[in-house]
Amino acid sequence: ARTGDGRPLPPFLKQEILDELERLQVLQRQIDRLEAQAKAERADAEDGTMAAKINQLVDLKGIGPVGAQLLVAEVFWRGFDNRRQVGAYFGLTGSPYNSGQSVREQGISKAGNARARRVAVQLAWLWRRYQPGSALSRWFEERAGTQKGRTRRVAIVALARKLMVALWRFLEHGLLPEGAVLSAPQR
């Protein structure tokens, strides 16, 4: 190994690079082991278990095992009664301000699980990309279309709420989101 100008690397720098490479290899082995363990648990899933719910979500194109696991472990194990409760848990519901003649919308409440909300928004972007023919993606395109900036961000948060409600219905009632495509099983 050499520097950019062709000189050999000093021995201490070579050793630091080798040590860092060794640490990365150890981490990669640990990640591989954990992924294999999670995959084995999902393969042996019985109906009604968390692993079975994770499998259901992973079967949807655009949702991977990490996002599915987080949603099931932190959100969808709860017994929600309706879509409003789902949206409120994520903190993706509106926060109105009503005072006399003044009525304004202040954005989303952010009262729910922040980590789940971040994953929901990321999944909304992925949903648009991998499920372009779904009713949810078409709804987003009708609202945001060629818009840029804030309008698009507000619309994606609205899509995230709609998507989380659709995923809840899928897990609880078996209702596949309209136009959604299932991927080849990744178990």
**Among 70, 83, 82, which Cα is nearest to 163's?**
83
Alpha-carbon gap, residue 150 to 178, rounded angstroms: 27
Residue carrying structure tokens 């709420």: 161
Mean pLDDT of 167-180: 92
pLDDT in the model for residue 71: 93
Q: Are 61 and 131 in contact (CB under 8 A)?
A: yes
Task: Give backbone dihedrals phi and psi of 48, rounded to 5 degrees, phi first.
Answer: 85, -10
Name the average pLDDT for the chain. 88
Q: Give the confidence band of 163 by pLDDT, cuts at 50, 70, 90.
A: very high
**Contact, 168 vs 152, CB < 8 A?**
no
Is the Cβ–Cβ distance between 104 and 96 less than 8 Å? yes
Which pLDDT score is estimated for 33?
A: 94
Q: What is the pLDDT of residues 63-121, one digit of tens each?
A: 989 999 999 999 988 888 999 899 889 988 877 777 878 877 777 878 788 899 999 99
SS3 131: coil
Give domain limits for the chain. Answer: 9-44, 49-173
Token pair in block for residue 145: 């279309």
pLDDT at 185: 60
Residue 186 pLDDT level (bands cut at 50, 70, 90): low
**For 108-147, how does the pLDDT look when each residue is reduced to its tens digit (9 = 90+)?**
878 788 899 999 999 999 999 999 999 999 999 998 888 8
